[in-house]
Amino acid sequence: RNERLDLLVSTLNGEADGEPSVLVSSNLRRAINTGCIAMWNRLRKTNEKILLLDSLQEMSRNVDTNALAGPKEYPEMSVVSKTLGRSFSPAATLDPSENAGNKGMFSKALPRLENFNKWIFKRDEPSIIVSAGHSLWFMNYFRTFLPKASAHEAKKHKILNCGAVAFDIVQGKCGGKTWHKIDESSITVIHGGFKTKKSKKKHK
């Protein structure tokens, strides 16, 4: 029996024997849709809201990485409304109060990664659940905050679609500067894991 994994699953599901936690999501509509649907059982049980954070926004310059909703606005959610029915409403499920809107045209990813860390350590909850993020964002997050000597697959491979991975991040100060580091030994696959290159199949 894996006690850490049991605790993580209980926390993810918002169960009484899990840790206190908060749900957050990228401010991109496709991520929010996924988060609402995936966490719907928990949301109905706890009546909490998913916090939308611009710091989790995808870092690519592709068209679909731009947020359409403005600062502190609700995105258009017809896909989720159709899927979950009348019991879903954006106002009852989402909290856009900390979403600053779309990223700047020439913005860099690193400040957003650092802003997310700053936000984490201002929260009281011991567990932060990114109910819907982006695999490229996470791969760069791992590359940035895992030790340089680390050869963990998280640095080289994206998380699978609908995958769930947990890890601990620590904060410290040195020379007056704040630093953050992922504890490599804490990385735990809850579901799916990382997308590694599959060997080519031979067709007969």
pLDDT in single tens digits along all 204 residues of the chain = 799 999 999 999 999 999 999 999 999 998 999 999 999 999 999 999 999 999 999 776 665 666 667 899 999 999 999 999 999 999 999 999 999 887 666 668 899 999 999 999 999 999 999 878 899 999 999 999 999 999 999 999 999 998 999 999 999 999 999 999 999 999 999 999 999 876 345 554
Q: How far apart, in whole angstroms, are the C-alpha atoms of residue 48 and residue 95? A: 9
| This prediction's pTM | 0.89
Q: How far apart, in whole angstroms, are the C-alpha atoms of residue 181 and residue 169? A: 6
